[in-house]
């Protein structure tokens, strides 16, 4: 049986680790050719190596999604390597929390830049490529449906204490999704959004006071074990999700069966419908 995404070109930000890596492996398993991105070269290359070892195709585009030149490099990598562009998943992200009276401008703009401005720039850079491909296909009597999947959060839908910056950015990506679904429908592009709840990754599932270096900033990561247990008790399924389960939700919007679904936000939260 032909893989559902056979030959499709998929670009995934933040795909060296965690949810992004799981998305990349899932799409590659269905025949997609990948452009893998991460802040750091090593995890990005590890994902590429895993895909190639399984018989798939993947290349690396390393760098911060918040860099002004990133979007053009990212889209250019897909065009130069594969001469196409079929799926874009705006996944890269992290949190930098504080109550509003203690939140700095730097914290605010870091979240807006990563979660909202970066997807905007990527999709802006992609539009001329998609338009040209769509026009060429129409002239040849062909029709191809392309996919954009943006990543939001339950915090973007319901808010979350200590996350004014993150919640605002994740709410913004929902609005961007709905707008581009209207603008890009004429090019046969579906634009949808996944709002994740608690997904256990190094940023959300690590106990203790660990840190990560993100855009030259040392950011605390991980959740206190007691708080994590309390959070999980509020989830109807009784647990946080795995990266593979998160990837499955993204996959639903990438396959042909969802070709007539656009402008939607899907909660992937184990049944959690508020915070």
Edge-to-edge strands of the sheet including 146-153? Answer: 57-60, 33-36, 9-12, 87-90, 146-153, 189-196, 265-268
Active-site annotation holder among 94, 166, 251, 260: 166
Tokens at residue 240, please?
């946080």
- Report yes or no: 203 and 114 within 8 Å, Cβ to Cβ: no
Residue bearing tokens 């490099």: 73
Active site residue 94: no
Nearest by Cα to 38 from 51, 25, 20, 26: 20
Neighbours of 152 (CB within 10 A): 27
Tokens at residue 269, please?
């939260």
Residues annotated as part of the active site: 166
């Amino acid at each position: 049986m032909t893989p559902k995404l056979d030959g499709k070109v998929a670009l995934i930000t933040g795909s060296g680790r965690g949810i992004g890596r799981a998305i990349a492996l899932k799409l590659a398993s269905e025949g997609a050719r990948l452009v893998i991105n991460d802040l750091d070269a090593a995890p990005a290359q590890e994902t590429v190596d895993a895909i190639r070892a399984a018989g798939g195709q993947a290349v690396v585009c390393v760098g911060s999604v918040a860099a002004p030149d990133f979007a053009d490099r990212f889209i250019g990598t897909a065009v130069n390597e594969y001469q196409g562009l079929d799926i874009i998943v705006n996944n890269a992200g992290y949190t930098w929390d504080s109550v509003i009276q203690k939140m700095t401008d730097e914290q605010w703009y870091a979240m807006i830049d990563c979660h909202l401005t970066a997807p905007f720039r990527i999709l802006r850079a992609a539009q001329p490529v998609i338009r040209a491909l769509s026009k060429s296909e129409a002239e040849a009597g062909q029709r191809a449906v392309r996919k954009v999947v943006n990543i939001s959060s339950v915090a973007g839908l319901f808010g979350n204490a200590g996350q004014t910056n993150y919640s605002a950015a994740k709410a913004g990506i929902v609005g961007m999704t709905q707008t581009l679904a209207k603008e890009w429908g004429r090019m046969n592009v579906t634009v949808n959004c996944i709002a994740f709840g608690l997904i256990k990754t190094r940023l959300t599932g690590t106990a203790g006071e660990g840190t990560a270096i993100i855009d030259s900033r040392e950011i605390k990561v991980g959740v206190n074990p007691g708080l994590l247990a309390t959070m999980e008790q509020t989830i109807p399924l009784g647990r946080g999700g795995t990266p593979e389960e998160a990837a499955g939700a993204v996959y639903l919007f990438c396959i042909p069966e969802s070709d007539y679904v656009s402008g939607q936000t899907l909660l992937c939260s184990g049944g959690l419908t508020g915070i």
